[in-house]
Amino acid sequence: MISNPAESTIDSAGGETQTDLNIATVGSFPKPKNGYVLPTGSAEHLRLDLQHEAPKLVQVALSPTESHQRYILDVGTGSGRWAVEMSENFPNAKVLGIDTHLPSVLGDPSRPVPSNCSFKIADANCDMNNLDSMFDIIHQRCVEPGINDTDLFFYESARILRPGGVLLSVGANPQLIDTKGRILPIQKPGDVGYSHYQHMLGYLLEIHLKKGPFRIRHAFWKSMLESNPNYNQVKIEQVLVPLGPWPGMGETERKLAETMQQNLLRLWPTFKAILERDGGFSEEFVHNLSEGGLNELREVPPPVRSYSKWVFTMAVRNENPWTAQKEPWQEPPGFDMFDYFVRPLPKE
C-alpha cells in the first residue's frame, strides 16, 4: 500500500472525512477467482491487514478450543466462494453462508464444498434472530444496499457474536473519486470532463433511492460501531482503488488497476440491466450510455482516471451482556448524502 497511513477521523456531520484515505496497490487485494464481481481473494478482508490487527484477532477468535465449536457466518454470501475458502483455511471451524438465494458454488463440480461449510437461504433484515449458533466471526462484504438498517444489523450481529468475536464489514462506492476522496461531479454531455460511467452510476443511485430509504451508510460505520455498547476495538480503513490502468502507473498499481477494471467490466451488464428495468429510459438511451461507459472502462481516458473507494471495518464483541438497539439510528444534523455520492444532473 502506498504510504499514506493517516487514520480516519470524524467530520462535523458524523461521517468519515473524505481526506484520510490510502491509495491501494496490488498487495491490498489478491487477484479474484472466477465468480467474484468485486476485488476479493482468500479471506481478502483478513489479508488487508487492517491496522495490522484484524488477522491477529481472527486467528485468536478461530483458534481451536475444547470448550466449544468455532463458527463463522458469511452474510450475503453471493457465490459462496469466500465461505468455502474460509472453511478450507480453518478446518476446525464450521462456516455458514446466508443469502436470499443459494450460492453458485454448490453447482460447481470442480470444487466440492467442504463438510464444515454449509449454506442457508436467509435474509439479514429479518432472519438474524433465527440463527441459533454463537459465532466467532461475522463477515459481510458489499451487501449494504440490501440491508435496511445497518445500525440494527450491527446490534443483531453482536447478539450472536461470542465475546471476543470479530465483526468484519466491507463497503464500496464505485463512483469516480479523486485522490482526496472527493466525488467527481457529473458534467453535462458534451462538456469537458463528461463521463458516461459517472453519469450511469448517478442514475443507478437515483434508482436505489426510489426503491426505499437510503441504505449506503458506510461513511458512518465507525461512529455507529463506536457508539454501540456491544463492541470495542473499532478500526476502519478507507482505500482508494484505481478504476483502471493509465500511463505513469507503477507495475503493482497497474496490476491492481487492471484487476479492478476487469471486475467492473464483468459487473457492467448488471448495471445496464438495472437501468433498463427500473430507469424508465428508452432502449436507445440506455444502450448509448452503457456503451459509452463500457468504452471508458476499456480505454480509461482522462475523465475516468480516478478511483473507487473501499471501506474496511473491524469491531470486536466485548464481554458485556448484549444490549439491544434502543432507538433507530438517525442521520447527523447537516447530513447531505451528496457529500458522499455524486449529485445527479438537474432535470431539464
CATH of the domain at 262: 3.40.50.150
* Residue 16 placed within a domain: no
What per-residue confidence (pLDDT) applies to 217? 87
C-alpha cell at 327: 432507538
User: Which of 136, 184, 187, 178 is CA-nearest to residue 157?
Assistant: 136
For each of the chain's 348 residues, which pLDDT tens digit applies? Answer: 222 222 232 232 334 433 345 554 433 333 333 333 333 333 333 333 333 344 445 555 566 665 668 899 999 998 898 899 999 988 989 999 999 999 988 988 888 899 999 999 999 999 988 887 789 999 998 888 889 899 999 999 999 999 999 999 998 888 998 888 888 999 999 899 999 999 999 999 888 888 877 788 888 999 999 999 999 999 998 888 899 999 999 888 888 899 889 989 988 999 999 999 999 999 999 999 999 999 999 999 998 999 988 889 999 999 999 999 999 888 888 888 888 888 877 655
* Residue 346 placed within a domain: no
* Residue 44 placed within a domain: yes
What per-residue confidence (pLDDT) applies to 61? 58
Predicted model pTM: 0.79
C-alpha cell at 212: 426505499
What per-residue confidence (pLDDT) applies to 45? 31
* Residue 339 placed within a domain: no
Q: Tell me how far apart the alpha carbons of residues 110 and 274 are, in angstroms, rounded to a whole number.
A: 31
Q: Report the number of distinct structural domains present in the chain.
A: 1
* Residue 333 placed within a domain: no
* Residue 331 placed within a domain: no
* Residue 72 placed within a domain: yes
What per-residue confidence (pLDDT) applies to 1? 28
Distances (CA, A) of 257 to 23, 244, 261: 11, 4, 6
Q: Can you list the pairs that 339-342 forms with residues at least 24 positions away whose Cβ atoms lie under 8 Å?
A: 339/13, 339/15, 339/18, 340/15, 340/18, 340/173, 340/183, 340/216, 340/219, 341/173, 341/175, 341/183, 341/205, 341/216, 342/175, 342/176, 342/183, 342/184, 342/185, 342/186, 342/198, 342/201, 342/202, 342/205
Please tell me the chain's helix, strand, coil percentages from 3-state DSSP, rounded to the nearest 5: 35, 20, 45
What per-residue confidence (pLDDT) applies to 50? 34
Label the pairing between strands 161-177 and 231-242. Answer: unpaired
Domain that holds residue 278: 22-320
What per-residue confidence (pLDDT) applies to 60? 55
Distances (CA, A) of 343 to 4, 12, 270, 334, 340: 28, 20, 22, 16, 9
* Residue 203 placed within a domain: yes
What per-residue confidence (pLDDT) applies to 99? 93
